[in-house]
Amino acid sequence: MRLLVSVRSAEEVGAAVDGGAEIIDAKEPTRGSLGAVDVAELERIADVLPDGMPLSVALGDHATPMAAARAMDLLTAVASRPAQLYVKVGLAGVVEPRVAQSVLETAVGAALASALEPGVIAVAYADHQLAGAVTPGLVVDAAARAGARGVLLDTWSKDGRTLFAWAAQSDVRRWLDGARSRGLLTALAGSLALDQMDVVRALDPDVLGVRGAACEHGRAGVISARLVRQLAAAKGQPDPRLHVIA
């Protein structure tokens, strides 16, 4: 399991890396669960990314294929491909499975057409009813059919409730097993903190994503190397096999 830390600026990258982040994720938390950073900020983040450090980029939620394709333009800010590059695409506002698949197919096509060829991570919401989105299980189906690289189970609402306020541990395990059986990279996020690490370790996703738990004063605060270090120690050692995922 690798630790992904979401940063909103280049200034936060150093603290995340010093604390033990294994993937840097570019995201603007004031713009929602998957808020995209500005082009200029993504350029600065990419410029200070250590050699060999994977980069993930939140592209937002998209209810139409055209919107998903346009969102990929943000990657023009990344001058050269990191060792591993992922883009996260959410489906808030998409209630029909066929539309969800179409959005993801378009995102995957745009990714393949890009010089950087990022892996597309489809984002499912445990609180999908609040997000007006398809269920997490349907996201797995759509992601696999569309050729996405992986799936992330997150929360759309950021009101302090964690992933496990919306989904039982047994349901999350079934979701992870279903995604793995389709050959998808798996990730969990959703206001997860130190007191959920025992549960997360037992579930063993490929990636654990955090923002608020890594910040002084919550997700709108500033990344703290001390807090990242605590999370890195609590989640355990990374699986060295995962460092070969492209």
Residue 240 predicted with pLDDT over 70: no
Determine which one of 2, 8, 27, 62 is catalytic: 27
Angle at 59 between CA 181 and CA 82, to 5 degrees: 75
How confident is the model over 151-178, as pLDDT tens digits?
999 999 999 899 999 999 999 999 999 9
Can you tell me the distance from the alpha carbon of 188 to that of 198, in angstroms, rounded to the nearest whole number? Answer: 14
122-139 exposure pattern, b = at least 16 Cβ within 10 A, e = fewer = bbbbbbbeebebbbbebb
pLDDT-based confidence at 237, cuts 50/70/90? low
pLDDT-based confidence at 217, cuts 50/70/90? confident
Q: Is 88 a catalytic residue?
A: yes
Q: Is 235 a catalytic residue?
A: no
**2-244 under CATH 3.40.50.1110, yes or no:** no
| Higher pLDDT among residues 238 and 203, named by residue | 203
Say how many CA atoms lie within 13 Å of 142 toward its Cβ: 31
Determine which one of 2, 8, 62, 88 is catalytic: 88
Residue 241 predicted with pLDDT over 50: no
Residue 45 predicted with pLDDT over 60: yes
Query: How would you classify residue 32: left for phi > 0, otherwise alpha for psi between -120 and 50, otherwise beta?
Result: left
Q: What pLDDT shows up at residue 8?
A: 98
Q: Where are the domains of the chain?
A: 2-244
pLDDT-based confidence at 202, cuts 50/70/90? very high
| Higher pLDDT among residues 10 and 242, named by residue | 10
Q: What pLDDT shows up at residue 244?
A: 30
Residue 238 predicted with pLDDT over 70: no
Residue 54 predicted with pLDDT over 50: yes
